[in-house]
A and B are shown apart, each in its own frame.
Chain A
């Protein structure tokens, strides 16, 4: 059973870069039907999709965050990463990594499973 685990600093200073790692266990990250995803949950409870990446390198970003976000993958480590530059207090959130399944026929897609989440606070 695939499991995902976020890791990284829980406190980031304003204007610095927020960096997180997602470690995938129980299955290979190098599967054609999956995109590896970052989603955050803001303090008010809303969910915001940030970006996802295919192991072959195809990337999709949320346009609202595109200029500050970098997502990458390391298949040898079965990990993928998030970097969010120029962090502000508005980036304070619980950051989740999750797997996006994309049925090749286009019949369905979904996020499952999710990591437990990493709370990142942007503050001096």
Chain B
């Protein structure tokens, strides 16, 4: 299985400040067709996860441009340029390059 490792696991941030979450995979997420299949999800407290970023850097519909994804191979980053109160929750990375699909442990973002 591919192991997805996120850091930090807890991220206190002052509103208006940037935030960055790292996700590392135990093997490359470069698919045979040349695409890299790494997604980010956001789970607000008490809600279901929702798609945030797909294929490393593509924002899902309705996601503000404060959110950006980058990376390649085994090393990926989610960045929030200016954190808002609505960003509080848990962020998960996920690969879908092979079975089983696996998720990172989650990073809990809180307002400092």
Contacts and interface: CB of A to CB of B under 8 A. Distances in A.
Interface of A: 45-49, 60, 62-64, 96, 100, 105-117
Those 8 A-B pairs whose CB atoms lie nearest each other, nearest first: A114-B48, A112-B51, A47-B103, A49-B101, A106-B33, A108-B55, A62-B100, A110-B54
Contact of A110 (B31, B51, B105, B106): B51
Interface string B93-110: 010100111110110000
Interface string B33-56: 101010101000001111100110
Contacts of A45: 90, 105-106
6 contacts: A49-B100, A62-B101, A106-B35, A108-B37, A109-B37, A113-B50
B60 interface: yes
B103 A108 contact: no
Contact of B55 (A64, A96, A107): A107
Given A46-B106, A63-B100, A106 B31 contact: yes
Contacts, number: 64
Nearest to A52: B101
B48 A96 contact: yes
B39 A110 contact: yes
B51 A62 contact: no
Interface of B: 31-33, 35, 37, 39, 41, 47-51, 54-55, 58, 60, 90, 92, 94, 96, 99-103, 105-106
B34 to A, nearest CB: 9
Contacts of B94: 47, 111
A49 B41 CA distance: 14
B54 A108 contact: yes
B102 A49 contact: yes
